[in-house]
Chain A
């Protein structure tokens, strides 16, 4: 069904392929930049991934001003403010974020501080408050899941106020996203599986939630097709460069899709589970996805049914609700397979959750912004019911 109104926007230039990182200095010149600050974490540096990027600068007139490798697992305002000061002190003129969502959010946060000229990010929380142009930014993802390289969102933890601040603005899109299979080759099987399920959740929720539109549908379906083809392969054999590139593209396509169609109840529950018990986001998304699809299937059976074909399911004629059940079964089959290959948890009890955590998780989940876009209403009791099922 065509929505009565929708918007779609993605201004990111995408470089995808083998040795794509070699083009970073050239892209910097096109952006009018000469001196980059690399934002990453110690794990990425230790895995030698920053060296791959550094090598690209060897024959270039652009340079790296500083490699900042102190990004924590959850970006914080303290780190963001420190990074912003270093950026100015080192006279850098652009950011290169190498890593997962946290590195990109940290770079985006520092970019907001510099461009808006404030260190009080609390005032800039919310949607479309950031209106000033940010410094040029290049994103090099090292996982294939978050899609942060093509989303207009940054989430930063405020240490003083003890809360997560969310920033949503068109200005937060990066200028260039670089997908290079060499940058994801060292990802362990369990993380490959979890981040892949994150990407699948983005695409499936993006395809079934209230803000879906014909353009985001194209991106989300294309992402699901690539995940079906490559996720198991990339998890089984991390050195399979085609599968790695396929998954990097899948995460990017899902990122563009869900950034314009938003996500729903799976993410509300996953954010809450992460908040209460620090379950990795991709793991939580994978656990909740089949249960929430089942929950939503009486409200939007035709959308969920449509995905069974994309996931490689039955092409026999079935009523929408029955076809939607096929989709849910296919997701469960994929999860079981990933569990066998990598040990990816597929039940909450296997992810360190105990039943006494349910009330806190349910309460957080119904206050999560993603819930607005879920096609079916979900109350505190509904969240509890889903937690019990997924346990």
Chain B
């Protein structure tokens, strides 16, 4: 079975249009993943006290972005009041940007198979802009991921996997419930 699969993959890779289709598929996957992360940031920042505390000292209007080199996709988010808002796709004058060097660098992180710090250690993410902001965004991102991904993948995502107490589990359920409607709302507006 494994051998047949391997042979099929070799055949597939040999097709003249395969690289272009593969690149488009990865772009689409990362495009959706980033948009979902944008929506998740917005929801978690509205419902989770830890994230509210983490961003409390951020200046109003601070923008940060995530994306993939060289041509995207990208998303931009902004801190306003006590929450983070997903501004949509593209780079919209961010103060700091997290850039994956290529599609393959981004896929494992968005699939919950690799942490952002491990991706940085492997030099697969570049930071453009203020490094202090980058560290603050990275901590905020860790909180979002804890509410986004199941506990079973925490060991891949965190150096010290967070222990979710009852209140946090209730918040996680609220986040998960609000996530899809927020994502759809942004997709419609896009």
Contacts and interface: CB of A to CB of B under 8 A. Distances in A.
Interface of A: 3-7, 125-129, 163, 166, 209-211, 262, 299, 366-369, 371-373, 375-377
Contacts, number: 63
A368 B134 CA distance: 9
Secondary structure type dominating chain B contacts: mixed
A7 B160 contact: no
B158 A377 contact: yes
Interface residues of B, number: 24
B138 interface: yes
B128 A372 contact: no
A128 B128 CA distance: 8
Contacts of A128: 126
Contacts of A127: 126-128
A173 B106 CA distance: 28
B169 interface: no
A213 to B, nearest CB: 10
Interface stretch (B20-28, B41-49, B73-81, B117-125): B117-125
Interface string B33-62: 000000000000000000000000000000
B159 A163 contact: no
A57 to B, nearest CB: 39
B99 to A, nearest CB: 9
Contacts of B122: 3-7, 211
Contacts of B124: 5
A107 to B, nearest CB: 21
Nearest to B131: A369
B152 interface: no
8 contacts: A5-B122, A6-B123, A163-B130, A366-B135, A367-B132, A371-B135, A373-B120, A377-B159
Given A367-B135, A367-B136, A377-B159, A372 B121 contact: yes
Interface of B: 96-97, 117-118, 120-124, 126-132, 134-136, 138-139, 158-160
Contact of B131 (A4, A6, A126, A211): A126
B161 to A, nearest CB: 9
Contacts of B126: 126-128
Given A7-B123, A211-B121, A368-B135, A375 B130 contact: no
A369 B158 contact: no
Contacts of B136: 367
A366 B131 CA distance: 12
A239 B101 CA distance: 48
Given A126-B96, A262-B121, A368-B135, 11 more contacts: A3-B121, A3-B122, A5-B122, A6-B123, A126-B127, A126-B129, A127-B127, A128-B126, A129-B128, A166-B131, A373-B121
